[in-house]
Amino acid sequence: QSALTQPASVSGSPGQSITISCTGTSSDVGGFNYVSWYQQHPGKAPKLMIYGVTKRPSGVSNRFSGSKSGNTASLTISGLQADDESDYYCSSYTSSSTWVFGGGTKLTVL
Amino acid sequence: QVQLQESGPGLVKPSQTLSLTCTVSGGSISSVSYYWSWIRQPAGKGLEWIGRIYTSGTSNYNPSLKSRVTISVDSSKNQFSLKLTSVTAADTAVYFCARGLIGATSFDPWGQGTLVTVSS
């Protein structure tokens, strides 16, 4: 199974919005509403930010939102804050009953 | 609040078997609502899903690792384990254990991770 495709880096200024894309295939992202997004600060474990494409776990800011169109899912962060600077990973369930992650995107808050 | 903690040797010799255990606290590993996974991350690289197991014993593995991986559950100890055979330097990584919620198909929470280095 091939890794999902994410941009290596994105950046934005405080208060702005950014979107991170995650492209897969009809066997993973496009075939299921089972895309999740994780935030990982350096040296820390990943933290679940979005699951089921659009759902936010309790405690996650509503500045984080998810969507999907075809084989591409997206994570949007609005009202960028300094603490949002981190690595972000998408993940999808697959038709083989396995999971696949994206390569990760480094978000820089300018 | 459920917490997960990985444990095991930090150094494994090439061709030997990597063995890690994840201890679950604050909840029962026997709950039918969850599955239990291992995920790894080489230094400076992305996440790689290794496999998952239900408490029933049913498991699924990453096709690229399937021939070398076994995940098992010990409900009496509230633990699940990872064995990876015939390791090479390419298996050097931080290994995370994580809980998955059936129906949500996501991983939450995660353990803090443990670094395993494969070297002679």
User: Which is it for strands B79-84 and B69-74: parallel, antiparallel or unpaired?
Assistant: antiparallel
User: Residue B29: is its pLDDT beyond 80?
Assistant: yes
Chain-chain contact of A1 with B62 (C-beta, under 8 angstroms): yes
Contact call for residues B20 and B42 (beta carbons, < 8 A): no
SS3 label, residue A44: coil
Q: What is the pLDDT confidence band of residue A70, given thresholds at 50, 70 and 90?
A: very high
User: Residue B55: is its pLDDT beyond 90?
Assistant: no
Q: What is the pLDDT confidence band of residue B57, given thresholds at 50, 70 and 90?
A: confident
User: Residue B102: is its pLDDT beyond 90?
Assistant: no
A8-52 per-position pLDDT tens digit? 999 999 999 999 999 999 999 999 999 999 999 999 999 999 999
pLDDT of residue A107: 98
User: Residue B63: is its pLDDT beyond 90?
Assistant: yes
SS3 label, residue A10: strand
User: Residue B104: is its pLDDT beyond 80?
Assistant: no
Chain A interface mutation, best of B106, B108, B115, highest count of A Cβ atoms under 10 Å: B106
Q: Any residues with CB less than 8 A from the CB of A69 and at least 6 apart, and which?
A: none
Q: What is the DSSP string of B59-117?
A: EEE-TTTTTTEEEEEEGGGTEEEEEE-S--GGG-EEEEEEEEETTT--EEEE---EEEE
